[in-house]
């Protein structure tokens, strides 16, 4: 056996061993096609070893029979393997498998039946001019079809691998580089043989296939090539909705999926290769805290109104050496918003319960009082109807009248407020002249002001128009004027003015009355804190007026503010959109 035969035999043994070992990964996509590819290469090398060791045409023919147990299927398994390796399994359908397998089977059958038709080899001869005999093969037409099939398949697989090398992330490029370089070796060997420039005309393709096997074995053992399947993993990686960032041991970003790119682009347009320690703002602070064990996994972070839980997981090789860290930011925005909504709902429910309790308290206590007065006094009148005490009767009738009016006003306010709470009152926005509302509201309270000799001064430009519900705004201004009169001393003064502030109108009702303490200011506009207060001349009220004002103003897209100082007066300001 000559040196070339020995080298080829070693190549056959190496390919065979790797082929058998690869079957251990049968549950990994592509492993069985990889194993079959190397087995075909091993049969090719064994057959060629026999051919190189032969001394007659019969020996060569027998060697060719062994070779062509594997050669026809090398392009077939190569295409299937590369498609699976680069993550294009969906291309592997019967529409692809059938023609490829047909070409391989035709080559297989034609080689074994060549003596009957000579479509593959026209003639097999012997050349003894070298250091050892070699075969001389005169090729037939199908041989060239098969050569075209091999070259097209090899080119197709290499293009897929090169595309993969360009597109894949740096963490996987070593595996892909091994694949690309390994796939080129048999192709170069095949080209050298076809050009006839090999040593002594020998086909070095089986040896180059063995070199490929050794390279792939290195990838298999060192990089766990078949465990990872880079592009398949990359596809899964990029299909994840949660941001995933892979960093090396120096916290430099070496890979990230599309959602992580969107997230990091808020801080750096080109995140690859950048350090997480100081290049990504708030993201750096929180992730580094987790990486440095200053914070536990599941640390929550909020970025751009989205919520994430930060988790880390080390990447180790077969020797348990740390290669890097996978950082997954679990998007819990929906869950967090639901949680916030539930909390708000609980708060609203608590407020509604407080509102309900206060509502019934008003009904049970405040509304009962005027009716107790009416019933008690009317009972007295009924029981004393025959007595002629006109002075007492006159007094009681006035008391009944006052109690009826207060009771009716309280009931009216309660019903109006309750209607707002259950959205029974519709807001009808129109262009309204503010001066007209202020003037009409002043007329309704003039009799109250006259009794206390209070001057109401109006400083509202007649050209100011607001966008509001006219009835609601009348109620607001009327209530605020009534309150101002109620808490202003005799001979006091009330000033009503309006200013334009950008797109809003600011209506101010200011008095020089008794004012409101800081403690009571905080309780204004809250139903749980409302209570009836008496005016400077013992005037009574329902306690709901300011609450209604606030509700009405907010329904009209405005807001109400108050400033006050004890013994110096109060200023209520209504801010409402202008036309």
CA 569 to CA 557: how far, in whole Å?
27
The boundaries of the domain holding residue 320 are 240-331
Looking at 198, 232, 266, the residue that finishes a domain is 232
Residue 350 pLDDT: 72
Residues 309-364: tens digit of each pLDDT? 888 888 775 567 777 788 888 888 888 888 888 888 777 777 667 656 655 655 55
pLDDT for residue 511 is more than 70:
yes
- Assigned domain for 399 exists: no
Residue 506 pLDDT: 95
- Assigned domain for 401 exists: no
- Assigned domain for 348 exists: no
Residue 32 pLDDT: 85
CA distances 272 to 170, 176, 257, 375, 565, Å, are 10, 19, 11, 85, 61
> For the residues 58-69, what does the mean pLDDT come to?
89
Between 153 and 163, the more confident residue is 153
My answer on whether 79 and 41 are in the same domain is: yes
Q: Where are the alpha helices (DSSP H) in 422-460?
A: 434-451
The answer to whether 84 touches 30, Cβ cutoff 8 Å, is yes
My answer on whether 54 and 186 are in the same domain is: yes
> What is 307-348 written as a DSSP string?
EEEEEEEEEE-TT--EEEEEEEEEE-HHHHHHHHHHHHHHHH
Percent of the chain with pLDDT over 70: 80
* Paired residues of 493 in beta bridges: 455
- Assigned domain for 265 exists: yes
My answer on whether 285 and 163 are in the same domain is: no
CA 48 to CA 6: how far, in whole Å?
11
The answer to whether 67 touches 51, Cβ cutoff 8 Å, is yes
My answer on whether 223 and 260 are in the same domain is: no
CA 29 to CA 229: how far, in whole Å?
8
Residues 533-566: tens digit of each pLDDT? 777 887 765 566 788 788 889 989 999 999 999 8
Which of 145-159, 359-373, 407-421 tops mean pLDDT?
145-159
- Assigned domain for 476 exists: yes
My answer on whether 148 and 276 are in the same domain is: no
My answer on whether 161 and 205 are in the same domain is: yes
Residue 301 pLDDT: 82
My answer on whether 179 and 326 are in the same domain is: no
Residue 573 pLDDT: 96
The number of domains in the chain is 3
The answer to whether 477 touches 437, Cβ cutoff 8 Å, is yes
My answer on whether 204 and 245 are in the same domain is: no
Looking at 232, 261, 296, the residue that finishes a domain is 232
**Domain containing 308 — which CATH number?**
3.30.450.20
Residue 100 pLDDT: 94
What single-letter DSSP state applies at residue 165?
Answer: H
Residue 232 pLDDT: 47
Long-range contacts of residues 203-208, Cβ cutoff 8 Å, at least 24 apart:
203/48, 205/44, 206/8, 206/11, 206/12, 206/41, 206/44, 206/45, 206/48, 206/49, 207/7, 207/8, 207/11, 207/45
pLDDT band at 431, cuts 50/70/90?
very high
Please work out, in degrees rounded to the nearest 5, the angle formed at the alpha carbon of residue 331 by the alpha carbons of 326 and 337: 160
Residue 225 in tokens: 């090539």
- Assigned domain for 27 exists: yes
My answer on whether 51 and 189 are in the same domain is: yes
Distance of CA 84 to the CA centre of its chain: 30
**Domain containing 214 — which CATH number?**
1.20.1070.10
Residue 240 in tokens: 């994840």
Residue 228 pLDDT: 45
Residue 405 in tokens: 């009016």
Residues 166-223: tens digit of each pLDDT? 776 665 666 777 777 777 777 777 777 777 666 666 776 767 766 776 676 666 555 5
Looking at 185, 205, 232, the residue that finishes a domain is 232
As a 3-state breakdown, the chain gives helix, strand, coil percent values, each rounded to 5, of 60, 15, 25
Residue 20 pLDDT: 86
My answer on whether 223 and 284 are in the same domain is: no
Residue 496 pLDDT: 96
**Domain containing 450 — which CATH number?**
3.30.565.10
My answer on whether 309 and 213 are in the same domain is: no
- Assigned domain for 416 exists: no
Between 376 and 488, the more confident residue is 488
> For the residues 134-140, what does the mean pLDDT come to?
84
What average pLDDT is seen over the chain?
A: 80
CA 558 to CA 579: how far, in whole Å?
13
DSSP helix/strand/coil, 218: helix
My answer on whether 65 and 204 are in the same domain is: yes
Residue 410 pLDDT: 60
> For the residues 488-510, what does the mean pLDDT come to?
94
pLDDT for residue 76 is more than 80:
yes
- Assigned domain for 107 exists: yes
- Backbone φ and ψ of 208, nearest 5°: -65, -30
Residues 247-291: tens digit of each pLDDT? 887 888 777 777 887 777 777 777 777 787 777 777 788 788 888
pLDDT for residue 423 is more than 50:
yes
pLDDT band at 88, cuts 50/70/90?
confident
pLDDT for residue 132 is more than 50:
yes
Between 343 and 71, the more confident residue is 71
């Amino acid at each position: 056996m000559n040196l070339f035969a020995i080298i080829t035999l070693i190549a056959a043994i190496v390919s065979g061993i790797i082929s058998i070992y690869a079957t251990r990964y049968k549950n990994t996509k592509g492993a069985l096609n990889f194993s079959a590819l190397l087995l075909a290469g091993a049969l090719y090398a064994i057959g060629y070893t026999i051919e190189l060791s032969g001394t007659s045409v019969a020996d060569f023919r027998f060697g060719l029979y062994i070779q062509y147990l594997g050669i026809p299927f090398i392009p077939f398994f190569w295409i299937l393997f590369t498609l699976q390796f680069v993550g294009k399994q969906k291309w592997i359908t019967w529409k692809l498998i059938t023609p490829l397998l047909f070409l391989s089977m035709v080559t297989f059958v034609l080689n074994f039946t060549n003596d009957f038709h000579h479509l593959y080899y026209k003639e097999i001869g012997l050349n003894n001019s070298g250091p050892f005999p070699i075969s001389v093969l005169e090729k037939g037409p199908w041989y060239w079809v098969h050569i075209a099939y091999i070259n097209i398949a090899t080119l197709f697989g290499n293009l897929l691998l090169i595309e993969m090398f360009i597109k894949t992330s740096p963490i996987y490029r070593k595996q892909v580089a091994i694949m690309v370089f390994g796939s080129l070796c048999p192709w170069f060997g095949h080209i050298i043989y076809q050009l006839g420039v090999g040593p002594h005309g020998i086909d070095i393709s089986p040896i180059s296939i063995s070199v490929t096997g050794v390279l792939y074995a290195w990838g298999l053992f060192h990089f766990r090539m078949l465990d990872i399947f880079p592009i398949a993993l990359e596809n899964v990686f990029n299909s994840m909705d949660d941001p995933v960032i892979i960093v090396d041991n120096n916290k430099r970003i070496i890979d990230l999926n599309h959602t992580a790119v969107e997230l990091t682009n808020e801080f750096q347009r080109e995140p690859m290769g950048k350090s997480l320690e100081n290049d990504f703002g708030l993201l750096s602070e929180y992730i580094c805290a987790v990486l440095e064990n200053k914070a536990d996994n599941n640390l929550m972070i909020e970025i751009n109104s989205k919520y994430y839980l930060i988790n880390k997981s080390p990447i180790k090789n077969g020797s348990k050496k740390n290669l890097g860290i996978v950082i997954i930011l679990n998007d819990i925005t929906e869950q967090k918003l639901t949680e916030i909504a539930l909390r708000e709902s609980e708060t609203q429910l608590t407020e509604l319960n407080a509102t309900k309790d206060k509502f019934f308290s008003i009904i049970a206590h405040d509304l009962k009082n005027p009716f107790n007065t009416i019933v008690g006094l009317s009972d007295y009148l009924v029981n004393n109807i025959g007595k002629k005490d006109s002075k007492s009767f006159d007094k009681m009738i006035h008391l009944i009248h006052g109690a009826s009016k207060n009771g009716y006003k309280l009931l009216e306010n309660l019903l109006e407020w309750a209607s707002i709470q259950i959205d029974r009152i519709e807001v009808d926005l129109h262009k309204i002249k503010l001066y007209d509302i202020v003037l009409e509201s002043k007329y309704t309270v003039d009799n109250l002001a006259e009794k206390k000799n209070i001057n109401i001064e109006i400083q509202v430009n007649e050209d100011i128009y607001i966008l509001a519900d006219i009835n609601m705004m009348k109620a607001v201004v009327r209530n605020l004027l009534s309150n101002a009169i109620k808490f202003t001393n005799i001979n006091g003064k009330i000033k009503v003015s309006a200013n334009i502030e950008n797109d809003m109108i600011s209506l101010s009702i200011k008095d020089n009355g008794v004012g409101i303490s800081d403690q009571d200011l905080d309780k204004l506009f809250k139903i749980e804190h409302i209570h009836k207060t008496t005016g400077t001349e013992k005037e009574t009220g329902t306690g709901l007026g300011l609450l209604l004002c606030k509700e009405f103003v907010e329904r009209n897209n405005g807001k109400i503010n108050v400033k006050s100082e004890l013994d110096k007066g109060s200023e209520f300001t209504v801010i409402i959109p202008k036309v």
